[in-house]
């Protein structure tokens, strides 16, 4: 199992902060890496990519402006603001993009950078920032945003003085980034109650690290085995990254074999329904809910899914309904306590009836995780399916079509 797209791109940005070259190993072959590498090269960094490694080193001159051509391709540009400010004292990044799963405003990022002493202007084409030297600050996040936590880490490690971040995200990918920065010489303390303390240092050096296996991919392929009545073994993703996921699947009737090297799942006695609500770490990951929802259609009974992280995460449901999935969606909070979308018009809960007989269909994939879920539904459908927008899957999964073929799924490019 290669590292995740969410981790590798953030490590690539962190490498901008080092005085020397940094090397990242176990890198997935995903579109996200190509986009991020192109952005780094456009600002004057050298990016070498032999096999499953990436080595990044600053060139002789750093250009503080990320070209507008990268507008909307992913959410990495905003994370580059802090590193560019440290290198040049100014920065411009284009408007961010990403999957259409709900509001992910830049407000938290901008507020954090301003607290650290940057002058930040948000314009129609992008974000401009200036700072002669960032300084430590006390920052409180209104919600444990992964991206905003990463912005604080990447911006404060070279700031003058101490930064105390409260309300931080604690996802494994965030901790993995913090550990990489520590290898580069950063002074970071992970404290209880979602608090991170960063003591700014004068310089960071290059470092080397090996990414941990992608917990999103691991869960997705475990579900692929369960949904088709088979058994799948995933290698390279530690058990501690899948604790909540394993327990959830076990409650549905899955049986596991777990070693230090691999995890195997099967469900010889069939699948039971469940009620699950997503949450920030260590809760059930929002990126796990799309394959889980398809798995619910093959469980014997009524299941409930309550999404509490992104209000538009169920945007993919119509494609699954077209394939015969019996799903009803609601604006109410179902399957868990009232969340921050309570009393809004956000459709963020679903009731799923199983066992559904799925049929082949012609569907368009809206985003990375939804795309994988459509492939899962197609795998158990009674007729072939035509899936459009497969570039979304290629952006986020390592060699997905080779992996699908290894599981016995017949695929061909139209």
SS (HEC) of 24-36: EECCCCCHHHHHH
Report pLDDT digits (tens) over 235-267.
999 999 999 999 999 999 999 999 999 999 999
- 51, exposed or middle or buried, with CB in 10 Å at 0-12, 13-18, 19+? exposed
Residue 381 confidence class, pLDDT cut points 50, 70, 90: confident
215-406 and 5-210 share a CATH fold = yes
* Cis amide bond preceding 326, omega within 30: no
pLDDT of residue 241: 95
pLDDT of residue 374: 82
Place of tokens 């995200």: 169
* Highest CATH level, class, for 215-406: alpha beta
Supply φ then ψ for residue 89, to 5 degrees.
85, -5
pLDDT of residue 99: 43
Residue 226 confidence class, pLDDT cut points 50, 70, 90: very high
Q: What residues are labeled active site?
A: 99
Report pLDDT digits (tens) over 317-347.
988 999 999 999 999 999 888 999 998 999 9
Cα–Cα distance list, 90 to 14, 58, 59 (Å): 17, 16, 17
Task: Domain ranges for the chain, please list them.
Answer: 5-210, 215-406
Which of these, 168, 170, 163, lies nearest to 143 by C-alpha position?
168
Cα-Cα-Cα-Cα torsion 360, 402, 210, 371, nearest 10 degrees, comes to -20
pLDDT of 129 higher than 50: yes
pLDDT of residue 101: 38
* Angle 329-330-331 from CA coordinates, rounded to 5°: 140
pTM (two decimals): 0.91
* Highest CATH level, class, for 5-210: alpha beta
Cα atoms in the Cβ-side hemisphere of radius 13 Å centred on 145: 24
* Angle 379-409-376 from CA coordinates, rounded to 5°: 30
Report the distance separating Cα 399 and Cα 31, nearest Å: 10
pLDDT of residue 410: 63
Which of these, 369, 370, 321, 315, lies nearest to 347 by C-alpha position?
315
Report the distance separating Cα 153 and Cα 170, nearest Å: 12
Contact in structure between 149 and 165 (CB atoms under 8 Å): yes
Average pLDDT across the chain, whole number: 91
Average the pLDDT over 43-52 and give the result.
94
Residue 379 confidence class, pLDDT cut points 50, 70, 90: confident
């Amino acid at each position: 199992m290669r590292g995740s797209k969410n981790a590798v791109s953030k490590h690539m940005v962190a490498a901008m902060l080092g005085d020397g070259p940094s090397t990242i190993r176990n890198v997935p072959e995903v579109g996200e890496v190509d986009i991020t590498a192109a952005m780094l090269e456009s600002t004057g960094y050298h990016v070498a990519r032999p096999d499953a490694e990436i080595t990044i080193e600053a060139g002789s001159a750093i250009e503080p402006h990320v070209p507008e051509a990268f507008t909307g391709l992913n959410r990495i540009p905003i994370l580059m603001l802090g590193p560019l400010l440290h290198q040049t004292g100014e920065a411009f990044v284009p408007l961010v993009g990403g999957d259409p799963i709900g509001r992910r405003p830049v407000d938290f990022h901008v507020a954090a950078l301003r607290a650290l002493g940057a002058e930040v202007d948000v314009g129609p084409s992008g974000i401009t920032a200036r700072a002669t030297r960032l300084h430590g600050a006390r920052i409180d996040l209104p919600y444990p945003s992964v991206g905003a936590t990463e912005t604080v880490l990447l911006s404060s490690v070279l700031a003058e003085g101490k930064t105390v971040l409260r309300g931080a995200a604690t996802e494994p990918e965030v901790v993995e980034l913090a550990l990489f920065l520590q290898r580069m010489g950063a002074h970071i303390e992970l404290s209880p109650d979602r608090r991170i303390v960063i003591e700014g240092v004068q310089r960071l050096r290059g470092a080397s690290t090996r990414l941990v296996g992608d917990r999103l991919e691991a869960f997705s392929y475990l579900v692929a085995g369960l949904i088709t009545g088979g058994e799948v073994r995933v290698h390279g993703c530690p058990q501690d990254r899948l604790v909540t996921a394993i327990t959830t699947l076990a409650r549905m009737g899955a049986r596991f074999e777990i070693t230090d090297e691999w995890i195997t799942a099967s469900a010889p006695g069939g699948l039971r329904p469940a009620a699950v609500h997503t949450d920030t770490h260590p809760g059930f990951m929002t990126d796990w809910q799309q394959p889980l929802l398809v798995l619910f259609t093959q469980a014997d009974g009524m299941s409930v899914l309550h999404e509490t992280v992104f209000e538009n995460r169920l945007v993919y449901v119509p494609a699954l309904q077209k394939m015969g999935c019996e799903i009803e969606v609601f604006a109410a909070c179902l399957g868990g306590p009232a969340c921050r979308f309570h009393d809004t018009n956000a459709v963020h809960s679903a009731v799923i009836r199983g066992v559904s007989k799925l049929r082949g269909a012609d569907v368009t994939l809206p985003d990375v995780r939804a795309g994988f879920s459509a492939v899962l539904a197609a795998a158990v459908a009674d007729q072939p399916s035509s899936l459009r927008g497969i570039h979304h899957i290629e952006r986020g999964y390592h060699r997905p079509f080779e992996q699908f073929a290894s599981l016995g799924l017949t695929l061909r490019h139209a």
